[in-house]
Structure 1
Amino acid sequence: MLRIEKIPVDSIYVPAARRKTLHPETVRILAEDILENGMKVPIQVRPDGARYVLVEGLHRLEAAKWLGETAIDAYLVQARRH
């Protein structure tokens, strides 16, 4: 079973290819939903030395940053490097 951990948002690396899929309007809408209802699904990251690499949840991560959050709930997963 996966365990939720609080991860500092500034220690999460987003690969360039994944960043290209970012839609600012989706981030804004999601941030408003998080304010009203909280974060429903944690993001997924994989450990990579002293940092974490985002596996899933770019829009949730960006929404948390937009809201000024310094940490985010995340699942630590084992994922293949691209």
Structure 2
Amino acid sequence: MANFVLQLPNNLRSFTVFASSNGRAPSSSSNGGGGENGGPVIVELPLDKIKRPLIRRRANDPNKVKELMDSIKEIGLQVPIDVIEVEGNYYGFSGFHRFEAHERLGLPAIRCKVRRGTKETLRHQLR
């Protein structure tokens, strides 16, 4: 079984780390990474620690948000949102409807797939 270390600022020590069913951190071939093997890690982050730098060209679909709220209340979040960690800051770049559903439900945290990146990675995601 592989072990991995996730280093975060002290103010984020109260979150949950999820590993895949085989006990390893999830892997990815994309830029950055958070796990020992270079892949992302799944963590639960407080909503207020996630910055949302992407300007959406359209508003969230309120019906989709409502459906997600109902689903999250019933069975929990099934697919984590994608987050890039750059120099200790967390930037959400997918999962806008899921994020809004969590906000509207008053949930304090959301499960995230976190990849470590550079400022250049973040600039690339903003294009």
Q: TM-score, normalising length from structure 1?
A: 0.83
Q: Percent identity?
A: 34
Kept in 1: contact 2:81–2:113 (CA 8 A): yes
> CA separation in 2, counterparts of 1:19 and 1:52?
21
CA drift of 1:76 comes to 0.8
Moved more, 6-15 or 47-56: 47-56
In structure 2, C-alpha distance between the alignment counterparts of 1:67 and 1:80, rounded to whole Å: 29
Moved over 4 A (4+): none
The residue that corresponds to 1:47 in the other structure is 85
* Aligned counterparts of 2:64 and 2:86: Cα–Cα separation in 1: 28
**1:37 counterpart residue number:** 75
How many angstroms apart in 2 are the aligned matches of 1:37 and 1:75?
Answer: 19
Whether the 8 Å CA contact 2:42–2:114 is kept in 1: the answer is yes
Q: Does structure 1 conserve the Cα–Cα contact (< 8 Å) formed by 2:54 and 2:93?
A: no
More strand by share: 1
**Structure 1, unaligned stretches of length 5 or more?**
none
Does the 8 Å contact 1:19/1:58 carry over to 2?
no
Greater helix share, structure number: 1
Q: Please give the root-mean-square deviation of Cα atoms over the aligned residues, in Å.
A: 1.9
Which AA in structure 2 matches 1:42? P
CA contact (8 A) 2:69 2:102 kept: yes
Q: How many residues align?
A: 82
How high is the TM-score relative to the length of structure 2?
Answer: 0.57
- For residue 80 of structure 1, report the CA deviation from its aligned partner: 4.1
C-alpha deviation, 1:21, in angstroms: 3.9
Q: After TM superposition, give the deviation of residue 65 of structure 1 in Å.
A: 0.9
Q: Greater RCO between the two (CA within 8 Å, min separation 6)?
A: 1
- Contact 2:84–2:122 under 8 Å retained in 1: no
